Structure 1
Amino acid sequence: MNRTALGVAGIALLVLLVVASSSLFVVHQAEQALVLRFGAVADPENPIKGPGLHMKKPFIEDVVRYDTRLLDVDPPAEQVILADQKRIEVDTYARFRIANPLLFYQAVRTEDGARARIREIVNNSLRQVLGNVSLPSVLSAEREQIMHEIQQQVSETAKSLGVVVVDVRIRRADLPPETSQAIYRRMESERQREAAEARAQGYERAQQIRASADRERTILLAEAQRQAQILRGQGDSEANKAYAEAFSADPAFFAFYRSLTAYRQVLADGNTTYVLTPESDFFKFFHNAPGAGKP
């Protein structure tokens, strides 16, 4: 009898332990939970369970746990057509937090489901916002404002999922390979054209400078020659004036000086022979010189 009672008591204790373990659950600090009864919220008035020890009805109620920390969404790169009809590949990421577990469960059930929906929302917002801006705007300081507008749209739409999107970022915005090659070839052609224009302009400018220098050289040489002619004329005039004054002061000496100059010039080359008559005026000072004999 005692053994039977002990056996029954042991079985009852075991059942009690199983029921107790099925009735109690712990929600950790970084979690929030929903208690579901046959797939529906068991306690509509207090559906969200925060950190701590909680109870549920065993076997008929289940617990769904959700992370309270920030969660990441990493959509694949998406091609977007901009307002200027340029195509770019945009690589984005987003971060969200589950703000309303009940709404979250009703809308998407799981975190993976939420990520899939948020990827769609981000891509739709990208197309809508970037479709109204040009490529230079995406690559300039306006990028922050563009991202702010995208985040606002994503956050507003994602509210229906029970989440708060706290950040949306463009990690990279690149041109598609075929577009990049076309732009590179166009830029290379443009640079070559600009280089050719610069060389042509440089050659033209060099020709202008050279022509200007030649013109100035010609003008300077002509002016120098003119000044030289003027100075030479002035010198000749002064010399003639001096000769005239000397001739007027002593005509005989001046005639003698002129003859000496002529002798020096004629007789400078000792190899030259001159044939002159003795009566020539060229020798008049030889005849009249002291000690000179008659020829």
Structure 2
Amino acid sequence: MRKLLIPIVFVLIGVGFSSLYVVEEGSRGVVLRFNKIIGLSEPGLHFKIPGMDNVRIIDAKIQTTDSSNNSGREQKFITREKKDLIVDYFVQWKITDFNRYYETIAGGNSVENLLLARLNGRLRAEIGKLDIKDIINDSNLDTKSRNSLMVRVKDALNGTQQSTAIIENVPIEDLVAEAESDPESITSMRAFGVEVIDVRIKQINFPSEVSESIYARMSAEREVVARDQRFQGIREAEETRADATLTATKILSEAEKQARTIRGEGDANAAKLYADAFNKDREFFSFIRSLKAYEQSFKGNDVMVISPDSEFFRYMKLNTDNKSDKK
């Protein structure tokens, strides 16, 4: 009996362990019985029927999908101006209906690929309605802006409650086929058990061939601006130098005028003094003038030929005559 009891205990222990499973926090367990969904397990310890039930653990946290998941290809979008843009973006989403989500992936479909296909289609439709300046504008108040564009794309991906209720009874295969054939269809991502939380554009670039021409044009425009600035500086420098020269000329002219005026006044005062002195004692004044003339005349080695009877020697004669009289 004991020999029989030990294997039974081991079998019961094995059955017990195989019937227990744990769902970690941030995950959900889809319980399958013969590959049909019979329930959803919340985080914690749960039981299942060994051999009949199977549990598929699904991540319930918010997930982020980047535009680089588009098979590594750049996504080109055309604006209303017929300009090509390369848009780098990411989308955050979470699973709201785990049963519907499992039905989608059970058929070998990738929800991320479906989401990116739908997102690219909606972005292409929305960007085609705007100009480049509208897409660059990130104002929340303007309906023609990047933020408003992302809100419209998110709402279009989630759809309305009515549209979601209508397609709940549509087979998943038909919805997947429609989404893959027409990325701009109105199929809501809620139909696949997914809700889009946020869509964000990280970067907007021009294609490389367009960027080169734009950079060349910008460089040419900056060169024109720089040349205009240089010419403006040269012109202002010439104007400044001309103004400085004019001011200096005016100052020198005014100074020369004042100097001549002062010299004229001085000469006039000197002439007046001479005239007053001459009028007071003309003989003495003539005598002083003659002495200065004698001083200037006999200073050097120059030879002068003057008649002894000249008026120039009048005062010298007068001095000689006085000496003769004294003798």
| TM-score where L is the length of structure 2 | 0.71
Q: Which amino acid aligns with 2:214?
A: I
The answer to whether residue 93 in structure 2 is matched with residue 96 in structure 1 is yes
Q: Is the 8 A contact 2:80 2:128 kept in 1?
A: yes
The corresponding residue for 2:184 is none
CA drift of 1:194 comes to 1.1
Structure 2 CA distance, aligned partners of 1:75 and 1:141?
Answer: 20
Cα RMSD (Å): 3.5
CA drift of 1:100 comes to 0.3
The corresponding residue for 1:154 is 157
Structure 1 CA distance, aligned partners of 2:49 and 2:132?
Answer: 56
The corresponding residue for 1:282 is 312
The answer to whether residue 46 in structure 2 is matched with residue 53 in structure 1 is yes
CA drift of 1:233 comes to 1.8
The corresponding residue for 1:128 is 125
Q: Is the 8 A contact 1:72 1:95 kept in 2?
A: yes
The answer to whether residue 62 in structure 2 is matched with residue 70 in structure 1 is yes
The corresponding residue for 2:177 is none
CA drift of 1:272 comes to 1.4
- Structure 1 gaps, min length 5: none
Q: Secondary structure at the match of 2:77?
A: strand
The answer to whether residue 190 in structure 2 is matched with residue 163 in structure 1 is no
Structure 1 CA distance, aligned partners of 2:323 and 2:245?
Answer: 64
CA drift of 1:84 comes to 4.5
CA drift of 1:197 comes to 0.7
Structure 2 CA distance, aligned partners of 1:87 and 1:201?
Answer: 38
Q: Which of 226, 234, 241 is residue 210 of structure 1 equivalent to?
A: 241
- Structure 2 gaps, min length 5: 69-73, 140-145, 160-187
Q: Is the 8 A contact 2:32 2:54 kept in 1?
A: yes
Aligned length: 278
Q: Secondary structure at the match of 1:279?
A: coil
Q: Is the 8 A contact 2:23 2:29 kept in 1?
A: no
Q: Which of 177, 197, 216 is residue 208 of structure 2 equivalent to?
A: 177
More divergent stretch after superposition (116-125 vs 86-95): 86-95
The corresponding residue for 1:118 is 115
Q: Secondary structure at the match of 2:202?
A: strand
Structure 2 CA distance, aligned partners of 1:278 and 1:162?
Answer: 144
Structure 2 CA distance, aligned partners of 1:293 and 1:85?
Answer: 129
Structure 2 CA distance, aligned partners of 1:286 and 1:257?
Answer: 13
Distance 1:122 1:264, change over 3 A: farther
Identity %: 30
| TM-score where L is the length of structure 1 | 0.77
Q: Secondary structure at the match of 2:199?
A: strand
